Structures are given as C-alpha cells and as structure tokens.
Structure 1
Amino acid sequence: MAKFEELAATIRQQITAGVWQVGEKLPSLREQTFQSGMSLMTVMHSYQILEGQGWIISRPQSGYYVAPKAEFLSVPKAQNRMAHIGKVDMNAYIFDILQTISDPDIVPFGSAFPDPSLSPLSQVTRALAAVAREITTAELLDYLPPGNFSLRSAIAKRYAQAGVNVSPDEIVITAGALESLNLSLQAVTKPGDWVVIEDPCFYGALQAVEKLGLNAVSVTSDPQSSIDLAALADVLASTEIKACWLMTNSQNPLGYTLSIEKKRQLAAMLEQHNVVLIEDDVYSELYFGQEKPKPAMAYMPQRNSLHCGSFSKSLVAGFRIGWVAAGNYAEEVKKLQLMSTLSTSVPMQLALAKYLSTQNYDRHLRGIRKTLEQRKNLAWQCLKKHLPENVIINYSASGYFLWIELPAAVDASRLCAIMLDHHVSIAPGNMFTTGGDYNNYFRINVSYPWNSREEEAVMRLSSEIRRLENPENIFGYNK
C-alpha cells in the first residue's frame, strides 16, 4: 500500500473510531506533514482521496473537516453484489457513444485516451524512420506470432524491473490491448461458458463477451472498496466459471487499484477454483507515487493467468501495439492470432524495440505521470468548485479518469446528449454496465490541459445538472 493510501486509511479508521467527530477540523496539510513525517504532496493526496470518498470536506481559507455524512458512505447493496446477466448486447449503444466524441471541436471529457500531445511522438517516429531505412523484405515476412523477439525481450525486462518473472517466450505481441484481451478470452472459453466481469467495467469486456457468445456474471465494484471479493467467492462457489476479466490497477472507469492484500486474496481464490485470470493492465504505468503496483498475476504461483498490456495509453495511441503474457496459453493465443490478424505491424514492432532500448521511455513516463497528477488535481479542484455539493467526485491516485456520482434524479445519458449540444462530451455510466445501477454516473477524462475552455465546460455541466435535478426551477434558475 502506498504511503498516501496508508495515511488515508489511518484517518478513516480514526473517524470511524470517533477520534475525529463530525464537523471537527482535521490537522492542516502542514501539520499533518509534520506529524506523519510524510511529504506535503503525499498528505494532499490522502486528503483528496478522503474528500472524494465523502469522509471529509474542505472549506476555503479554513481547512478540512469531518464530513457530516461520513458515516453514511455509499457501499454496494447486498442484493446488487452480483448479477447473472447472461447474454450481453452492448455493441450498438457503445458505438453510438464513441462516434460522438471523435469530433475535434468537442471538449473531450468523454475520451478514453490521454491527451495526444503528451506522447513523445517525435522520438518514436524517429525510431520508426530509422527502422524503415534498415528493414529488409525478408524481415517483413518473418514476423508471425509471437512477434519480434527484441520487443518481447524488452517487455520481459520491464516485468523483471517490477519484480515479476516473465519469459519472452510467454509474450505474444498484438495489435493493441483489446486484441490481446479478446484472444485471451477466446483461448480459455467456448460459446456458452460463464465468465466474471466487474460492474461497472471497461466496455471492451462487454463487447468481447457479446462477440464470443459468452454468458457473464457481473460482480459489484466500488470506487473505495474495489471489487466485492466476498461476492466473487459466492459466484465461484455456485457457478462454473471459466475466466475472470478484471482490472486490478487503475480500474476503468472507477480508478481504484487493488491493495496487495486483496490481490493475494483474489489470486488464492482463483487458484482454488482453477479459474483463469485475464488481467487488463493497460494503465499500470500511469501510477502516482514512487512504486509501480504489481499485477495480480504476480501472486498466482500456478500462473493460471493471461496478463494484457499496451503502449497505447502510456506512449502513442495510434501505434496500436499491445501484448499478452500468456504463460501456459501462449501457444493457443499464437494460433488464434495466426487465424485472425495474422501478425502485428512489423515496422511498429521494430520501432518500439528500438525506442525501448534507450532511456527515453522511462524519462517520458516520469514526465507524463507528473503531468497527469497535476492535471488531475487541477480538474478535481475545478469540479469541486463548480459542481453542486450533492455531486460526489471519486478521486483516485493514478490514471486520468474521475468517476462522478450525480443525484439519483439525474440521468447521465440524457446529460451526455445535452452536453454534446454544447460541444462537450462525457462518458455516461451506462457504457460500463448492462444493468441500470449507474444511470446517474459518468466518467470524465482529465488528461488535457485545464484552461478557460475546460472550466467553462464544467460550469455548463454544473448548470445542466442543476436543471435536470430541478426541472421545475429551470426558468428561475436561468434568469
């Protein structure tokens, strides 16, 4: 657990135990820095997390106080902990939403990708130009699955740096993470099998389940408590599950990262029931703090897992290069890829192998993490300033998404349509679920610079939320 998470957990325990009473002022940032021995940034992260979770509130020019309703924090309802949703039909809805956010004139709060200006495009294209001059015709024909050895070796070294042993022979290069995830799911299931997904989850999981004719059990996840492992245990005990498709680091859309303890519990649970873990880990490089979180597969001794990653979120989206550390399933994944996309772009593989052989990637990652952390903090402050007080902003210390809970009366899909008329996109909660539990939620991308345009978009968002919550006051409110 990172230091800011430890401090946040300590303060939550103190509030629960009554050390800090409702309405009581907490130590200031500087006082907490002195008392805890942690840095000012670490303490600030802890307070932001606690405020985003509803435990504390900030008062301008005054400080932080225990929130009046801290004891009534939202937790998953028992009856909604899991749902056997069976067949999934999401493609058309998701396609319509994604089509609307590709317009460059729209403020891209609904985008899934980070600000493209953060990519070291010139460095990577120089590597691409260099390999284009050197590549031979024979090399163009010699890159069938699993892909370029130098690139697989570079990825294996990055696993080793994170304390995870993966052989280059276990790695298959793919056309982005979505292909690796689809191939992984296809390698371990057949039509009609049951798989576990999170609720809410990355919409690509819903599309893959639909495409492969699988049945899905959704297990409730929460921005603060993460996936409901007790509910997952019930599912594994009562249903013949073939695989779990999960995001354990910087989960999309909620943002949480599972603690080491929960990753160990998850791994043990899956090993016990011989269930395959398909781990979607595309945001793992975009952590805040000093230590990269390990994937859950690191805690699975039998390695009954397929770990999927990508350079699309951390480097250049357009290159569409991903991979799967497929372990025991590597041969099956290679065969499936051979029958579908055949191979991944050879020049792109060579360019990335060349780029990763330098120190440029780690230098870039240090820069993008710092920038995303700063922008996320600015966005969080802007949203706290302008959105109605009854809107909950869930802050997570990684990635570039914020998960927003609206008042129950506000339909996020309707809000999405209204905001598009004002050239602002958001990603409504219905994109990430097959049920109706997240009608009043949406995800916002905060990776872009925060200027007057973004603040005006948030102000418009606030105005429309108020109008949808209180339609009878629309004329009086807009005067």
Structure 2
Amino acid sequence: MGLKLYEELADEIAAMIANKLLLPGERIASVRQQHVRRGVSPATVFQAYYLLEARGLIVARPRSGYYVAPQRAALAPEPEASQPAGASTRVDVSELVFEVLGAAGARDIVPFGSAFPSPLLFPMARLARCVAGSMRRLDPWSTVADLPQGNAELRRQIALRYQRDGAQVASDEIVITNGALEALNLCLQAVTRPGDAVLIESPSFYAGLQALERLDLVAIEIATSPRDGIDLAALAEALARHRPKACWLMTSFQNPLGGLMPPEKKRALVALLAEHEVPLIEDDVYGELYFGAQRPAHSKSFDSKGLVMHCSSFSKSLAPGFRVGWAAPGRYARAVERLRLTTSLAAALPSQLALADYLGQGAYERHLRQLRLALAGQQQQMLEAIAVHFPAGTRVTRPQGGYFVWVELPKGVDALALHRSALRHGISVAPGPIFSANRAFGNCLRLNYGHIWDETHEAAIATLGRLAAAQL
C-alpha cells in the first residue's frame, strides 16, 4: 500500500526541516498556498499539517499560521537488547504485580503506570449509540445462537480485517472472548500442561507471567531488542535445549519495550517454530496503533501450518470497557472454543453487537488515524520531557507505535523505591521487576504516554527525574 497524498506532503516538509531548508521558528506555507501550488485539497494539507504537529515538527499559532517547531532537546539514547541467562524459571510475580498495580488506580494519580490509553481518545458517545441501536434491533434467538463462538457479524468483520492484512482466516476459526487476556490464557491452556516450558520475551508483559504462574508453567526468557524484538538465534538455541510446548510473543510494539519485528523476521520466526512444531501465541493488541504508513504484518499472515494462535482485542484501540477480544487459534480453534465454553461460556453479547455495528459503519479507520496521530505526538512530548528532566545516563526506547516507552535509568536507581516515592507525589509508574520472571530490570520503568499531554504530565516527568536523581 503506497503513501497517501497527505503523508507524501508531510514527509516532504519533514525532509525540508531535517535538511535545514526550513528553520526553527520559520513560517511555512499556508493551507491555501499549498492548495494552490500543489493542486491538492485543503483537507489534504490540513491532514499533512496535523501529522507534522503530531510528530512535533511544526506548531500552529492562532490567527497566524503554521511554524517550524523550536529546536528540540536531544533525545536520550536507546537501551541495548536484554541478555537473560536463558535458564528455566518458576514464575512468582503475582504478589508484586498486585502490590504495584493496586496502589495506582486512583483517578487523581498521573497514570504513567497505567496499562490503557486515556478514555478521552475513544469515540464513546458513538459507541453508546451503537449499543442502544443494536439492542433495539436484537434478535432474541441470537442471545442463544451466538454463545459458542461469538456474534457471527462481528466475526465476519474481524475476518475481513485479517484478509485486508494478508492473512486468510475464516470467520469460523475466530473465537470471541472477554478481552485479549482471556484469549491468550485459553490458547496457553490449550497447548500446555503443568510443568511445561514456555518461551517468552525479556522483559515480558506481567499478565503473561502471571498466566504462567497460575498454570504452573516454566518461563524461558529470551534476549529481546527494543528495536526489532526477540533474538532468533537465542530462540533457536532455547528450542533445542528446552523443548518448549509454546512460545508467547508480542511481535508488534511489544509491551513493555515497544519493539517491532520487521516482516522478514516474523516470517523467519514462524518458519523456525514450524520446524519444531511449537505453537506461537501471538499477542497483537497494539498492532493497529502504528505510526507508519501501514499496519505491520502479523505472524499469522506467514502461517501455513495453523501453528500461530493470533490474539487481539478492541480494548487498546477502540473500546477499553467493552472487554471484547478474540483468538484465531489455527489448528487449535476447537480446543480453545471448548475451553472458553467451560470457563466463561461467552463474551457479553451487547458489546459484540455494538462493535459489529460500529465496524459496519466504516468509522473505525477514521478513529484509528486520529488516535495514532494523538499517540505519536504524545510520545514525542514525553521523550523530550525525559531528555530534559531525567538524570544523565538515562536510556529510553522510541517505539514506532503503541503507547509505552521503556526507560533504563542509571545503575543505582531502584525502580521499586522510585515507584513508591512517585506514588507519594501522585504519580504512578510500572517498575521493571514486574516484567521479569526473576524480578530483573531493577533500574527500569515502563511509562505510558497514552494520556493527553498537559502541564501536569510535564511536571510529573520533572518530579520523576528529581526523584531518580536523588537516589544517585
């Protein structure tokens, strides 16, 4: 898929800024001037300028026009890839996770430790109308008929999105669940038994670690780059050494690092796991939140053996409170469906109907474009604030999507102590040890930039920087 006109225009202006043809503080051509010069619509120019604003490259001045943004602070360098020992580990993180998350749920806390973006970024009013409209049109028999796999129209809409993204997934393969976490847990249960080994990234999403702990599974942490994901050489070695029963990965905008595996690396990943007949549980909840020109390919699109168990949801991209997710588990679809029937039975039907209605209206893509622009701009603002306020020696990731950055603070900073002191200042963070089976990453934080940036957030970053520096 090629770039859209507004993206081409934005990239051209960005290049002029990078090459110093346009200087900080200089006024750029007005929307009308660009419209006349280039023969594109004013709407196209506005979209290009909105994109450049989100990237932090230009600023709008009321009744004056658009100007090149002031010189930005040099961003902190990125962290290196993790280097776990590769040994098997019994997981014991739940109490620590509950301690950290339980203390950070108040509405008046600055939510850098939150797992969700701001609800203000979602079309809640339109979704509410979809709920009301779908309930008025509800076929009473569907409340029974749709229970086993989920609403047929919603599964059809999801299958259409798979086809658009290059994966042939039949709607009958899709199992609707109560959020992606249920989908991931069901997939894990379908292919493992207590005591089995599971390969995971390092660091890894804490809910995945909790799932391994609950099912009495053994974690094998694999070296992972914040740029392009898991180390395939280390993965191959672990496959031969540990003979795992599953591999649970986030291949797009991994939580917490934000890494994105390029398409050819995903293809090689699928081929490597297929050689060993090891299923890949692919957690893809952030895949729609990309900042580039098109959605990253997911591993499911390279799967010819039915070994990729792809899981996602609408919780991070559209409707957090609806708790509607799904699994496309390939050859394990029936096993996952039966497990779901014996646990939660079904996901709530009104939420499914409303989402099917919303997707059918064609409004999702427009919402996603606006959401991506907002997240990209908020990431830039957080990175610049970290560069200004955090102590020397800090490293931070620069994801190409999602809404998390991973911060590696200088040695000597205790992330758990920083978490506790930050809470006393009304700020939540997610400390590194909750993302590791052996509580590593003691000087690291995951920070959420998914909330609308304002003076309060800027001040909170400054406070975090002071608290971190005070430990050195």
Report the TM-score when normalising by structure 2. 0.84
Deviation readout 1:179-234 (Å, 9 max, x if unpaired): 00000001111111111111111111101111111112111212135212111110
Deviation readout 1:15-47 (Å, 9 max, x if unpaired): xxxxxxxxxxxx99431899xxxx9979x9799
Asked whether the equivalents of residues 278 and 308 of structure 1 are also in contact (C-alpha less than 8 Å), the reply is yes
Distance 1:268 1:319 in 2: 35
Secondary structure in 1 matching 2:427: coil
Q: Does 1:229 align with 2:227?
A: no
In the alignment, what sits opposite 1:327?
330
Q: 1:169 to 1:250 in 2, by over 3 A?
A: same
In the alignment, what sits opposite 2:184?
181
Distance 1:235 1:252 in 2: 21
Distance 1:63 1:100 in 2: 33
1:145-294 superposed matches below 5 A: 145-294=148-297
In the alignment, what sits opposite 2:80?
74
Q: Does 1:111 align with 2:99?
A: no
Asked whether the equivalents of residues 81 and 228 of structure 1 are also in contact (C-alpha less than 8 Å), the reply is no
Report the AA paired with residue 432 of structure 1: F
Q: Does 1:84 align with 2:84?
A: no
Asked whether the equivalents of residues 281 and 309 of structure 2 are also in contact (C-alpha less than 8 Å), the reply is yes
Number of residue pairs matched?
A: 422
After superposing the two structures, state which structure 1 stretch, 398-407 or 217-226, moved more. 217-226
Deviation readout 1:401-430 (Å, 9 max, x if unpaired): 111000110010100000000010000001
Q: Does 1:419 align with 2:425?
A: no
Asked whether the equivalents of residues 228 and 262 of structure 2 are also in contact (C-alpha less than 8 Å), the reply is no
Report the TM-score when normalising by structure 1. 0.83
1:431 CA drift (Å): 1.2
Report the AA paired with residue 437 of structure 1: A
In the alignment, what sits opposite 2:19?
31
1:138 CA drift (Å): 2.6
Q: 1:410 to 1:363 in 2, by over 3 A?
A: same
Secondary structure in 1 matching 2:273: helix
After superposing the two structures, state which structure 1 stretch, 91-100 or 200-209, moved more. 91-100
After superposing the two structures, state which structure 1 stretch, 111-120 or 188-197, moved more. 188-197
Report the AA paired with residue 215 of structure 2: L
Distance 2:137 2:289 in 1: 33
RMSD, matched Cα: 2.6
Asked whether the equivalents of residues 432 and 441 of structure 2 are also in contact (C-alpha less than 8 Å), the reply is yes
Q: 1:380 aligns with which of 374, 380, 383?
A: 383
Q: 1:63 to 1:428 in 2, by over 3 A?
A: closer
In the alignment, what sits opposite 1:398?
401
Asked whether the equivalents of residues 28 and 64 of structure 1 are also in contact (C-alpha less than 8 Å), the reply is no
Asked whether the equivalents of residues 101 and 425 of structure 1 are also in contact (C-alpha less than 8 Å), the reply is yes
In the alignment, what sits opposite 1:464?
467
Asked whether the equivalents of residues 81 and 223 of structure 2 are also in contact (C-alpha less than 8 Å), the reply is no
Report the AA paired with residue 82 of structure 1: G
Higher relative contact order (CA 8 A, sep 6+): 2
Distance 1:202 1:188 in 2: 20
Q: Find runs of 4+ consecutive structure 1 residues off by over 4 angstroms.
A: 39-42, 44-47, 60-65
Deviation readout 1:336-382 (Å, 9 max, x if unpaired): 01100011101111111111101111111111011111111111111
Asked whether the equivalents of residues 88 and 197 of structure 2 are also in contact (C-alpha less than 8 Å), the reply is no
1:298 CA drift (Å): 1.4
Distance 2:74 2:447 in 1: 25
1:62 CA drift (Å): 9.4
Residue identity (%): 42
Q: 1:317 aligns with which of 310, 317, 320?
A: 320
Distance 2:196 2:324 in 1: 29
Deviation readout 1:131-189 (Å, 9 max, x if unpaired): 22222443222222211110000000011111111100110000000000000001111
Asked whether the equivalents of residues 56 and 381 of structure 2 are also in contact (C-alpha less than 8 Å), the reply is no
Secondary structure in 1 matching 2:466: helix
Secondary structure in 2 matching 1:339: helix
